[in-house]
Structure formats: C-alpha cells, structure tokens
C-alpha cells in the first residue's frame, strides 16, 4: 500500500493543503514550527483514528475554525481507498471509507496501516510498561479486528471491576463474575501478544544487527501469564492461570481498590547482549533498539495483513549521526516512508521526494 495524496483543511496550523506523495521515500522539510509534524500526524490519524500527540481530538482543529478535515488516499492491490475524517468541536469525529461512513472504529483498522517513530519512540525501551503495551496494541489492532474488539471489551470489564472495588461493595461473590470475564478475554489478549512478540523478536534482532554493524544481539520477550500445566501457548491454559491469579490477589485488590494484575500490567523485556535495556544501556543503544523494533514491526505488519504499512519518521535524523542516517535510509528500501527534517542537506545524494513545508 502507498499513500498517494494527503489533503487537510483547518488541521492545526494548516488552513488547507494537498500533498502528493511518491511510492517510496518522502520528506517534509522546513524550519521548526512550520507544521511538518502536524501533516505527519494527519496521516497517522487516518491510520489508527487518533493522534499520537494528544488524546483530545478538538486540539487538532485550527483555532479560527469550527472543524478540521483529513483526507488520505492510498493505492492498494484491490484499488484506491480513501479515508475521510471530520473532527468537530461539538460532536464526535466522523470517519468515512470510500465515502461510506463507518459506525465502529474497528472498521478503520488496517485500511491505511502506519508505523510511527518519533522523539518519544525511546519510551518503548526506557519508560513505563504502558508504553510497550501501547506499542503492541497499536500494531495488533491494525492486524486484527478481533484483537481490537477484545481489547475494548477487556478495558470495559476492567473499568467495571475497578469501579466495584472502589465502591466498597466488593467481596468474593460480587468479584467472581468479573474475574471470570477478565480471565476469558484477557487470555486471548495475552496469547495474541505473546505470539506477536515471538514473531517480532527474530526480525528485530536482524534489523538491530544491521544497524549496529553486528556488534550487538537484541532479544525481545513477552512478560505475562504463561498458563498452567504446561499449556503456556493455549488460551485455556492462560485463562486458568489468570483466573487463579485474580482469586489469589483479591485480598490485595480489595485493600488497594484496583485490579493490579492481568494483561493491563504486562510488559516486554528488551535485552541487548543479555543486558536489560529497560534499566541499563546508553541512549544510543536504546534508540537503536527502538528503531529496530519499528523496522521489524513494518515487516511483521506487511506479512500479517498482506500489504506494506507507511513508515512515519518524525525528527529522527536530528538524533542520528551521518553513518546511522545512511543505514536507516537503506533499511527503508521497499517501503513507503515519510520523514520530517529541518535541512534538505540531510538527503543529499538520496532518491527522495522532498516537500517543503
């Protein structure tokens, strides 16, 4: 899949703009505060239905307008697809695919798949487990509508259980039904995530070896409930283990008034040469590992959904030396990419479509 055109109107600082994109490398180049990242964000929004910079959609509307408009057109093997989004100050956002309104956000997943790496990308490695779970969830939601639905369902069940715990009316009898539901849906999430990481790890290791000139070995491991009686890879085994864990943790949950175990607390262990980068390692090692994971995500998404996603690289070049820039650009062969940068000289000698912002 390749995005052929981006059109925005009253989106952040862009009053109206249309940009034609080429099938491989593209760069949005301009001085700081000109709106390069805003345009990149619009492509991301068309892919996953939300911004990577704010949870409040209304912040995306130009201050002088009442609504913002995004339209992304993409070429796929099945023909052209168009995603249209209207963000309004007074009503919920409206999304249409090929001019047909959708009623559920799950219908948007996978239509215009994207992978993002931005300055906050290091959070995947060095920050809280929530950032690594978000990394998995955004990828898996684009791969599987069933996963998206399970994740939404799990969040609703978890919220209800936590509300009960906070109400003071929780006990073994009232918690048991919620525990059963959490274990059932949670087991599907854990199994899917573990399968995702087991496939991602060798691809990420290969990309990491390329970026580090073979000096380091990257390993990814999913940290979550493994199941009982050797059934570590079965939904039933994981469900049984989760159900047992919820029961054993009830006393703590009642005291703390929230659910402190389950897939909403799981993590990814990221190791280089046997060292856990979440706690140790230089910023350079962490950046290289994060980039390798994103490049691996591209390959895995392409394999899973049968079409290549668009790689969005926001202000990455400012953090890399000339050698690693060259390596990164060569790693983008075969994918469409959109890169933001402040200096056209970063792309001297590179076959790339430069759009001045």
Tens of pLDDT, residue by residue over 141-170, are 999 999 999 999 999 999 999 999 999 889
Q: Which of 2, 25, 36, 40 is nearest to 350 (CA)?
A: 25
Instruction: Decide: helix, strand or coil at residue 259.
Output: coil
Q: What is the pLDDT of residue 125?
A: 92
Alpha carbons 6 and 72: distance in angstroms, whole number: 5
pLDDT level of residue 121 (50, 70, 90 thresholds): confident
pLDDT tens for each residue of 173-201: 999 999 999 999 999 999 999 999 999 99
Check pLDDT > 70 for residue 62. Answer: yes
Handedness of CA 163, 253, 234, 269 (dihedral sign): positive
CATH superfamily, region 124-303: RecF/RecN/SMC, N-terminal domain (1.20.1050.90)
Q: Where in the chain is the domain with CATH 1.20.1050.90?
A: 124-303
pLDDT level of residue 319 (50, 70, 90 thresholds): confident
Check pLDDT > 80 for residue 122. Answer: no
DSSP 64-112: T-SEEEEEEEEEETTEEEEEEEEEESSS--EEEETTEE-SSGGGTTTTS
Check pLDDT > 70 for residue 231. Answer: no
Q: What is the pLDDT of residue 284?
A: 83
Q: Where in the chain is the domain with CATH 3.40.50.300?
A: 1-113+307-357
Q: What is the pLDDT of residue 281?
A: 80
The number of CA neighbours under 13 Å toward the Cβ of 91 is 4
Tokens of 318: 């400012």
Mean pLDDT, the chain, whole residue set: 92
Beta strand segments in the chain, E: 2-11, 14-20, 25-29, 67-76, 79-88, 94-97, 100-101, 114-117, 218-223, 267-272, 275-276, 310-313, 336-341, 353-356
Q: What is the pLDDT of residue 265?
A: 96
Strands 25-29 and 353-356: parallel
Tell me what the mean pLDDT of segment 113-129 comes to: 88
Alpha carbons 184 and 239: distance in angstroms, whole number: 6
Check pLDDT > 80 for residue 318. Answer: no
Q: List strands edge to edge, sheet with 275-276.
A: 218-223, 267-272, 275-276
Q: What is the pLDDT of residue 163?
A: 96
Tokens of 89: 């100050």
Q: What is the pLDDT of residue 119?
A: 79
What percent of the chain has a predicted confidence (pLDDT) above 70?
99
Tell me what the mean pLDDT of segment 42-58 comes to: 95
Check pLDDT > 80 for residue 306. Answer: yes
pLDDT level of residue 248 (50, 70, 90 thresholds): very high
Check pLDDT > 70 for residue 230. Answer: no
Q: Which CATH architecture has domain 1-113+307-357?
A: 3-Layer(aba) Sandwich (3.40)
Q: What is the pLDDT of residue 232?
A: 59
């Amino acid at each position: 899949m390749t995005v052929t055109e981006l059109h925005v109107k009253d989106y952040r600082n862009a009053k109206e703009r249309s940009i034609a994109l080429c099938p491989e490398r593209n760069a949005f180049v301009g001085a700081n505060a000109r709106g390069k990242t805003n345009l990149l964000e619009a492509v991301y929004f068309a892919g996953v239905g939300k911004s990577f910079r704010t949870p409040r959609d209304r912040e995306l509307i130009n201050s002088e307008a009442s609504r913002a408009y995004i339209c992304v057109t993409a070429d796929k093997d099945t023909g052209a697809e168009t995603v249209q989004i209207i963000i309004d100050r007074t009503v919920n956002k409206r999304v249409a695919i090929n001019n047909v309104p959708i009623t559920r956000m799950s219908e948007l997943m996978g239509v215009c798949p994207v992978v993002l790496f931005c300055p906050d990308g290091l959070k995947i490695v060095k920050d809280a487990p929530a950032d690594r779970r978000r990394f998995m969830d955004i990828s898996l939601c684009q791969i599987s509508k069933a996963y998206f639905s399970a994740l939404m369902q799990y969040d609703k069940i978890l919220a209800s259980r936590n509300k009960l715990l906070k109400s003071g009316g929780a006990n073994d009898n009232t918690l048991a039904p919620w525990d059963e539901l959490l274990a059932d849906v949670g087991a599907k999430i854990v199994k899917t995530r573990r399968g995702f990481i087991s496939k991602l790890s060798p691809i990420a290791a290969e990309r990491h070896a390329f970026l580090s000139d073979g000096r380091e070995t990257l390993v990814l491991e999913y940290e979550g409930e493994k199941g009982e009686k050797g059934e570590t890879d079965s939904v039933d085994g994981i469900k049984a283990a989760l159900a047992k864990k919820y029961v054993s943790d009830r006393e703590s949950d009642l005291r703390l008034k929230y659910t402190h175990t389950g897939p909403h607390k799981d993590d990814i262990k990221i190791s280089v040469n046997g060292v856990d980068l979440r706690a140790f390692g230089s910023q350079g090692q962490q950046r290289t590992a994060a980039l390798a994971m994103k490049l691996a995500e591209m390959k895995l998404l392409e394999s899973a959904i049968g079409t290549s996603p668009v790689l969005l690289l926001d202000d990455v070049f400012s953090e890399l030396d000339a050698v690693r820039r060259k390596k990164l650009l060569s790693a983008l062969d075969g994918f469409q990419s959109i890169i933001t940068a402040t200096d056209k000289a970063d792309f001297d000698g590179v076959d790339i479509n430069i759009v001045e912002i």
